[in-house]
Amino acid sequence: MNLDQSQPWLQADLLQHIQRLCYSFQHWTGKPLIQISPENSPLAIANLLFNADFVVVSHGTQTDPVLNYGNHQALELWKMNWQTFTSTPSRYTAEPMERSEREQLLAQAKSQGYISAYRGIRIASNGDRFYINQAIIWNVIDREGKLWGQAATFNDWEAIA
């Protein structure tokens, strides 16, 4: 286990979670989340995903799910550090008036496995609002089919003035 708190995404439990993110994205969409080669170690994959130029976020299976992963782009976009991000209920990534639509989409993704081409409004910790475009939301599962949560990825967002 990596105990370096400056890179918490490299801890053993998160390395497993990142493997599930990659596996389940490929399972549902038929496409890789990131381009990796068979010789990439879990540590190398974790670094590639954390430093990717697109957003990846996930939350767990709690009744009020809490964010459990956000790569560098996500942390920058929502203007939070790792500790704050991973202790935030995921519903707080959307404004109160946007939360019911968000919940409906998460329920749809849960029943279908994934949804794509989602567009919605999100809010950063400082109040900045932005559209996310062409987002993919998917169920995070392991190779046995156990549900671990849900995740989203997108590479297109725009500030709302």
* 76 in Cβ contact with 50 (< 8 Å): no
Strands 156-159 and 129-141: antiparallel
Domains and CATH numbers, the chain: 8-159 (3.30.450.20)
Contact (Cβ atoms closer than 8 angstroms) between residue 102 and residue 92:
no
Tell me the per-residue pLDDT of 109-127, one tens digit each, with 9 for 90 and over.
Answer: 888 999 998 999 999 999 9
Decide: pTM greater than 0.75: yes
Binning pLDDT at 50, 70 and 90, where does residue 102 land? Answer: confident
SS (H, E, C) the chain: CCCCCCCHHHCHHHHHHHHHHHHHHHHHHCCCCCCCCCCCCHHHHHHHHHCCCCEEEEECCCCCCEEEEECHHHHHHHCCCHHHHCCCEHHHHCCHHHHHHHHHHHHHHHHHCEEEEEEEEEECCCCCEEEEEEEEEEEEECCCCCEEEEEEEECEEEECC
**Tens of pLDDT, residues 65-95:** 999 999 999 999 999 999 999 999 999 998 8
Q: Does residue 100 have a pLDDT over 90? A: no
Q: Which of 4-8, 62-66, 101-105, 145-149 has the lowest mean pLDDT?
A: 4-8
Section 12-40 average pLDDT? 94
Distances, alpha carbon 107 to alpha carbons 98, 100, 104, 111, in Å: 15, 11, 5, 6
Identify whether the C-beta of residue 49 lies closer than 8 Å to the C-beta of residue 75.
Answer: no
